[in-house]
């Protein structure tokens, strides 16, 4: 087994890298793939909280690098679903605690055991990003449809291209169809035109994301709601399935109008 190593990155903070990593990891594990999600954000870890595994951390990535424990001792297994693991970051250290070479070494050790290695990259373009991106063959660039986030995503794509990553795909997160309609938000075609990379996921704005993050239960466990559906589609597309981009249509068919439409088969 040789794992597909994917870095989830963005440049700008707060656009949904960790949420995407957690939900994608759960969804791929649900499909039957053996997945490990690595928190690459040393010093500002969050993946453990979003995945609801914060109470089960004994060792961290930095402990592995420093030889304080074995790699499998630091891996946290998710008891709710088979095949899902997380490698937490240290909260009390900084990005310099790990080097790119050490990250590559860790990923190559995990590669034989897993189908997917998902690396949650920190925001920024400094050493933390480089450590997270170096071991990955593929990258998911997450952006929100805001000018600042798109510009940062563009910067990150430029850096990933210079690192010769072959599969760079785009996830547009927190898209609000109402705001797009009002002209207050960039629409999908604007973002794709600027970034000129393969669009692989569209995640609509969904309040359930906040609830699930606070509960420590990734949305995809429940598989209801527009964002959960979007993450599910994203996982299928990563596995090569041809899934139409109907995330927003599904959202528009919600509510009373949606029910009426359904009733009349519109």
Partner 1 sequence: MGSHILLKGTREGIRCIFPEDKDIIGIEQMCDEVVRESGHILRDGTLIVDLQGRESDEGEIIAILKNLVWSSGAREVVWRSYDPHVRRILKSAGFCIENRPSYGSVGVRGLFIFKSLRSGQKVEHDSDVFILGNVNDGSEVWAGGNIWVWGKLQGLVHAGCHGGEDAHILVKVFESNQIRIGKLYSSIEKGCSYWGKPVLVYVQENTIIFKEIQ
Residue numbering of the annotated binding site for ATP: 12-19
Quick one: tokens of 168?
Answer: 């760079």
Instruction: Provide the minimum distance between the beta carbon of 143 and partner 1 in the complex, in angstroms, as a whole number.
Output: 12
Q: Please state the φ and ψ torsions of residue 30, each to the nearest 5 degrees.
A: -65, -35
Instruction: Provide the minimum distance between the beta carbon of 184 and partner 1 in the complex, in angstroms, as a whole number.
Output: 15
Stretch touching partner 1 by CB under 8 A, among 34-42, 59-67, 156-164, 173-181: 156-164
Instruction: Provide the minimum distance between the beta carbon of 157 and partner 1 in the complex, in angstroms, as a whole number.
Output: 6
Contact string 92-131 vs partner 1 (x = CB under 8 A): ---------------------------------x------
Q: Which residues pair with 86 in a beta bridge?
A: 37, 76
Q: What is the 3-state secondary structure (H, E, C) of 190-209?
A: HHHHHHCCEEEEEEECCCHH
Contact 47, 37 (CB under 8 A): yes
The only residue of 32, 158, 178, 255 in contact with partner 1, by rule CB under 8 A: 158
Quick one: tokens of 135?
Answer: 């071991």
How far is the C-alpha of 196 from the C-alpha of 157, rounded, in Å? 10
Tell me the site size for partner 1, rule CB under 8 A: 13
Pick the closer one to partner 1 by CB: 150 or 234.
150
159 to 198, contacts with partner 1 by CB under 8 A? 159, 161, 194, 196
Instruction: Provide the minimum distance between the beta carbon of 203 and partner 1 in the complex, in angstroms, as a whole number.
Output: 22
Please list, in sequence order, all residues whose beta carbon lies within 8 angstroms of the beta carbon of residue 30, skipping any fewer than 6 positions away.
81, 220
How far is the C-alpha of 266 from the C-alpha of 226, rounded, in Å? 19
Contact string 136-155 vs partner 1 (x = CB under 8 A): -----------x--xxx-xx
Whole-angstrom distance between the N-terminal and C-terminal Cα of the chain? Answer: 46
Return binding residues: 12-19
How far is the C-alpha of 77 from the C-alpha of 224, rounded, in Å? 24
The only residue of 136, 157, 175, 188 in contact with partner 1, by rule CB under 8 A: 157
User: Which residues make up the interface to partner 1 (CB under 8 A)?
Assistant: 125, 147, 150-152, 154-155, 157-159, 161, 194, 196
């Amino acid at each position: 087994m040789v794992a597909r190593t994917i870095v989830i990155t963005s440049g700008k903070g707060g656009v949904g890298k960790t949420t995407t990593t957690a939900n994608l990891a759960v969804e791929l594990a649900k499909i039957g793939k053996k997945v490990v999600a690595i928190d690459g954000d040393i010093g500002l870890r969050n993946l453990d909280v979003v995945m609801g595994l914060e109470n089960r951390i004994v060792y961290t990535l930095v402990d592995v690098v420093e030889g304080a424990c074995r790699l499998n001792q630091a891996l946290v297994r998710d008891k709710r679903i088979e095949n899902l693991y997380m490698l937490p970051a240290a909260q009390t250290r900084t990005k310099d605690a790990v080097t790119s070479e050490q990250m590559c070494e860790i990923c190559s050790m995990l590669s034989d055991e897993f189908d997917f290695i998902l690396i949650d990259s920190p925001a920024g373009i400094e050493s933390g990003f480089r450590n997270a991106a170096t071991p990955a063959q593929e990258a998911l660039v997450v952006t929100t449809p805001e000018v600042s986030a798109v510009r940062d995503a563009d910067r990150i794509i430029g850096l990933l291209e210079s690192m010769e990553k072959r599969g760079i795909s785009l996830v547009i997160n927190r898209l609000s169809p109402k705001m797009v309609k009002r002209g207050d938000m960039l629409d999908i075609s604007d973002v794709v035109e600027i970034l000129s990379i393969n669009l692989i996921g569209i995640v609509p704005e969904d309040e359930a994301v906040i609830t699930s993050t606070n509960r420590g239960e990734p949305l995809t466990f429940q598989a209801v709601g527009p964002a959960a559906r979007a993450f599910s589609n994203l996982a299928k597309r990563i596995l090569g399935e041809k899934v139409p981009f109907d995330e927003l249509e599904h959202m528009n068919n919600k509510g009373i109008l949606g029910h009426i439409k359904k009733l009349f088969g519109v």
